[in-house]
Amino acid sequence: MFINDPRDHGLPHNPWKALVVPRPIGWISTQSAAGVNNLAPFSYFNSVADFPPMVMFAPIGPKPNGDGKDTYQNILQTQQFVVNLVNADLAAAMNASSEHFDSDVDEFSVAGVTPAPCVHVLPPRVAQAPVSLECILVSSITLPTDKPPIQNNLVIGKVVGIHIDENILTDGMVDISKYKPLARLGYFDYLVATATLSIGRPDLNPTEVAAELESLLKQQNLPG
């Protein structure tokens, strides 16, 4: 099938968010100019650079009681935010914080998680998160919209500090089986990543890498 207009897909449910998957969840903590903490999850999120490390996420707003309004306004006011990475153990807490609340509500309390101080930024991080990234605002871009008054935005932040729970490390490397990151699929579906498939770079030894990949695909019962 071909979909010419994403709003006119002809399916029982819009497939768009189920197509580009899995998407990591950025659980963004901010603080208002008045000192009120805010915590909200975003699946339009990812890392975008190495030198220096940078991340991006896409909040919407302004929209009355809409996703990301407080998060976006807080970042514009303070120029700071924290990205907390979500694992399987935090799924319920993350989901609880996704509800629409008034701007004076502290979602840390709603989600039942503990705010912990950061080193370089004022917003607190989630103490229970396996990874938290302290960020300062690099750029905020207003994107086109075809559903006004909803405003699409892109926020890019520079990572100035990284908190890692040492319990997710094995021999100094992040162990995905301990990390158990939670990712967003489509509809109301999520994915818990617990297994990896290692593939060497083809410019190292193409013949060896090809044989290794074929073996791994057979082990995982994947087509190759």
Mean pLDDT, to the nearest integer, of 149-160?
94
Alpha-carbon distance of 209 to 217, in angstroms, equals 12
Alpha-carbon distance of 55 to 77, in angstroms, equals 19
pLDDT the model gives residue 210? 66
Mean pLDDT, to the nearest integer, of 55-59?
97
What is the sign, positive or negative, of the torsion defined by CA atoms of 103, 105, 110, 115?
A: positive
Mean pLDDT, to the nearest integer, of 86-106?
94
pLDDT the model gives residue 91? 98
Q: Is a pLDDT exceeding 60 seen at residue 224?
A: no
Backbone dihedral angles phi then psi of residue 125, each to the nearest 5 degrees: -100, 170
pLDDT tens track for 116-135: 999 999 999 999 999 999 99
pLDDT tens track for 165-206: 999 999 999 999 999 999 999 999 999 999 877 776 666 666
Q: Which residue has the higher pLDDT, 148 or 66?
A: 148
Q: Is a pLDDT exceeding 90 seen at residue 222?
A: no
Domain ranges of the chain: 16-166
Q: Which residue has the higher pLDDT, 95 or 197?
A: 95
Mean pLDDT, to the nearest integer, of 58-80?
79
CATH superfamily to which 16-166 belongs: Electron Transport, Fmn-binding Protein; Chain A (2.30.110.10)
54: number of Cβ within 10 Å: 17
Tell me how far CA of residue 78 lies from CA of 17, 71, 195, 222, in angstroms: 30, 11, 38, 47
What predicted TM-score, i.e. pTM, was given to this entire model?
Answer: 0.89
